[in-house]
Structure 1
């Protein structure tokens, strides 16, 4: 076994430190790349979820709008039917409502 001098020990420690620096740099790059991939995947997942939520909200909005339109159409049909059943009474009621609205607007 060769006798090691302090200079040899110093060189060996210096080389070990350099190797540690290189390994740390590689590890840092690997972690950074992994985090970039994780962030990219998370961003894609958030985009997908937000598109799905928007699509679901549009569908629900369309359903509510269609139900409201159907209810409005039914109400109009019912009013038309009542007017057809009792036209004179309908005219009298409309006249009275007009008088009431006129009195309220005069104030």
Structure 2
């Protein structure tokens, strides 16, 4: 017995299309704060992207100076972007203001 394949209007399989529709309904509008554990290169990058997207960011590491160092690195990268004209100074300032370095994971 042959199985019928169901296709969606955009050419994907029906099951995949249903999954896409589910994600469209459950957009990330409910998320307001992003917690990042680890303020190294990857963690700082994640924190920067989240802050620039408009989310409040809690940046945690094993020591508070490390979390602050990660935030300082983000400040340097955003300053470079402002100097090159890739980002407005006000947008950079808003992104920086959204990042809070913390020591304890209870804040996340």
If the length of structure 1 is used for normalisation, what is the TM-score?
0.22
Q: Give the structure, 1 or 2, with the largest relative contact order (CA under 8 Å, sep 6 or more).
A: 2
Larger Rg: 1
